[in-house]
Structure 1
Amino acid sequence: MYRRNHFAYQYVSKKAFALPVVGEVHQPAVFQYHDLLSLPAKTLQVVLECAGNKRSYFEPKVFGEQWKEGAISEGVWQGVPLRSLLAFTGVKKTAVEVVFDGYDFGTRTNMKGHFLYARSLPLEKALHPDTIIAYAYNGKPIPYKHGYPLRLIVPQWYAMASVKWLQKITVIDHTFQGPFQTVDYVYYPDEESDSGTPVTHMRVNSIIQYPLDWGRVNTGVHRIHGLAWSGIGAVTAAEISVNGGHSWHTASLQSTPEHPYGWSVWSYAWHATQTGVYKIMSRALDSAGNAQPLEAHWNTKGYGYNAVATVNVKVQ
């Protein structure tokens, strides 16, 4: 599981095993860790992708962690649906969003003071049955570096929404204005803009796992394979080009309908009969009609890169 956090890891005290739910609710409550373990649980296989995944491929270059394809992982998360907790406390008609505070905090460049890592969800997404307060990952307690003891899991949204080291949930009657909501994780179209579009759903995307970029292979049949995923709907097709996008072929797609938030595995049998240098490309399509573009939508923070995946291969 890749790791990404804005501040240093925090000491986990006994307080971290209690989760208050407050704000625009009828009955504020504090849920103990053992309370959550005793409630009906949900187990979900979920892809978590950093919004900055593949950032290093943007041109012109942008500042930030220069991820290539490594800021994405899939795992099995177990926890309690957030809606179960909110059903217990009740939600007032004035509720608009739900804010999630993490225990991690620190200073920010060009901003005075200390800041908690905090994010919000619109009420509709917070009440989705698959938005969960997780306490287990791959059948074991969540590893400390991934949010132990409690972490929010928001399927199909970029992973900045899945707040780690969860310490408090607050239902609010307005739009949250924290810096990790209104400064970071916003698609700014240019350096002069002070407003943009919030980063939410993962964009349809794919990676090529084999062959490797700038690798050498012999003539013959090769199984090109990789992964595809989307934050809106399901992946419905993967297409492969072995000539730099001049023509495309449908790949074999292995999806798991019982795990709608996982990635799909695709493969294509490539008959490499002639020597030379080949540009191999992959693109995924989803059920909402989205397809990977030839060029990613550039933005100043370098979020949401999803241009067609490309590797260069020499056949010898």
Structure 2
Amino acid sequence: MLPSSRPANDDPKRLLAEHAALTRRHLLQLGLAGATLAATNARCGAAEPASHARAEAVAKLEPFFTPPAEFRDVSRGKPLPHSLPDEKKREVGLTRETWQLEVLSDPEHPARLGRELKKSDGTALDFAALLKLGEQHAVRFAKVMTCLNIGCPLGMGIWEGVPLREVFWLTKPREDIRRVFYYGYHNDEPSQMFRSSLPLGRVLEDPFDLPPVILCYKLNGEWLDSQRGGPVRVVVPEAYGFKSIKWLSHVVLSNLHHANDTYASGNNDLDSPLKSFAATLQVPKSIQAGEPLVVTGYAQVGISGLSKVQVSLTPAATTWEGDPYFTKAAWVDAEILGPPAQWGGDLPDGKIPGETLGFDAAGQPKTWPMRLGKAHWVAVLPGVPAGEYEFRCRTIDEKGAAQPLPRPFRKSGHAAIEAVTIAVK
């Protein structure tokens, strides 16, 4: 049994029965002008239409996992490497048949290695050799891919590959290794190189029960295509997307003592892991006075986990001077939906692949919501008098910190509280 199991979110009959009481509970919690009017409406049967509206809204939610073709794309390069003609991709190693990975010592800050993996002497790692490592070491895990500076996640998937440490050990490392940096194909133009880096300790072990950093070659059970960074990319489970370099071609082992990511020059925080935050998916721009408000959304579940999603509806004229995080708003708990009956994402046979980290043998998550992923939520609020209102949503993490805390700074990842204006007529 999941710690917080709930009905599958695609069963309208069960939803209607369970949530007839949900609106009545919100009537008591909301604390807004007009709550008395809404409570009267509920006693007269308004709860049933609200439950129907809720069930309809939940039925329209996006799939939990994103089909690979529907991931948002923020690729870099001129031309974009995934747009190259097939012949050019074969020539530069962007196919499974021609891909090779060089693992080298940093010439400026040398690491002491027993060997390098180089194309020049025929020792570079090819795709077949990577899969051979995968026969013993492959892992798969669920992760939301999201950009440091963009609020909307790029997609949610199950990523599969070989831990980077397994390739690291092939170099027979000795000492003077403090950092690993890596980059991908960039049109053989130095100015287009985009690289990221990790401390060696993160590559060699997985703190706090995190999955390992992997050389990824599958997404949702299928070969990683070129647009998603194939044939091989890095995926860093707890990190924003800029750490998960596409079209991987080089891993460099270095004695450098600091990060040398391309993102460093953009005034970005290079080391902050994923944050928890909430956002809306379906919210009406206008409703009738006294009509219940039904809103759905998602929560990104960052490294600090997720205990609640909360929502508030306040008159648009409300001032928040001295309260930039809206702590004095009348926040009420939304409902975090449980694991879906259908996972989506074009998974083979519609099932979670076997031995996916965080899932049991039956393909059910061991905990919910899952860290480093997302969760859907729904809120049903009572009707209010005519006027203009602002709807907000926020997360509460597992330690009780309310979004945007504990890290409210923009450069360490998006966590601003979303506000949506709703006209009540």
Q: TM-score range by the shorter chain?
A: 0.7 to 0.9
Partner of 2:76: 6
For 1:216, which of 266, 286, 289 is the aligned residue?
286
Distance verdict in 2 for CA 1:85–1:249, change over 3 Å: same
Give 1:139 shift.
2.0
Deviations 1:43-91 (A, max 9, x none): 111111111204xxxxxxxxxxxxxx3x532112111111222234344
Q: Is the 8 A contact 1:204 1:291 kept in 2?
A: no
> Which residues of structure 1 form unaligned runs of 5+?
55-68, 108-112, 188-196
Give the TM-score normalised by structure 2: 0.60
* 1:307 lines up with 2:416 in the alignment: yes
Structure 1 runs of 4+ aligned residues shifted over 4 Å read: 176-179, 296-299
Deviations 1:161-203 (A, max 9, x none): 100000011111113564614302x34xxxxxxxxx4353122
More helix by share: 2
Q: Is the 8 A contact 2:314 2:391 kept in 1?
A: yes
For 1:34, which of 128, 139, 144 is the aligned residue?
128
Distance verdict in 2 for CA 1:291–1:273, change over 3 Å: closer
AA in 1 matched with 2:251: I
CA distance in 1, matches of 2:116, 2:337: 45
Give the TM-score normalised by structure 1: 0.78
CA distance in 2, matches of 1:115, 1:176: 22
Partner of 1:110: none
Would you say how many aligned residue pairs link Structure 1 and Structure 2? Answer: 282
Give 1:35 shift.
2.0
* 1:119 lines up with 2:196 in the alignment: yes
Partner of 2:332: 249
* 1:22 lines up with 2:104 in the alignment: yes
Mean Cα displacement is larger for which, 9-18 or 44-53?
9-18
Q: Is the 8 A contact 2:392 2:418 kept in 1?
A: yes
Distance verdict in 2 for CA 1:278–1:138, change over 3 Å: same
- Of all paired residues, the percent bearing the same amino acid is 21
Q: Is the 8 A contact 1:233 1:288 kept in 2?
A: yes
Q: Is the 8 A contact 2:396 2:402 kept in 1?
A: yes
Q: Which has the higher contact order (CA 8 A, sep 6+)?
A: 2
Give 1:141 shift.
1.7
Partner of 1:182: 264
> Which residues of structure 2 form unaligned runs of 5+?
1-70, 82-87, 106-110, 118-123, 316-325, 339-364
Partner of 2:164: 82
Larger Cα-atom Rg: 2
Deviations 1:234-278 (A, max 9, x none): 122211111265211112224652743211222222122433322
Deviations 1:284-308 (A, max 9, x none): 12235543139x9566xx6623111
CA distance in 2, matches of 1:239, 1:105: 46
CA RMSD of aligned residues (A): 2.8
SS in 2 for 1:220: coil
Partner of 1:283: 394
Q: Is the 8 A contact 2:312 2:391 kept in 1?
A: yes
More strand by share: 1
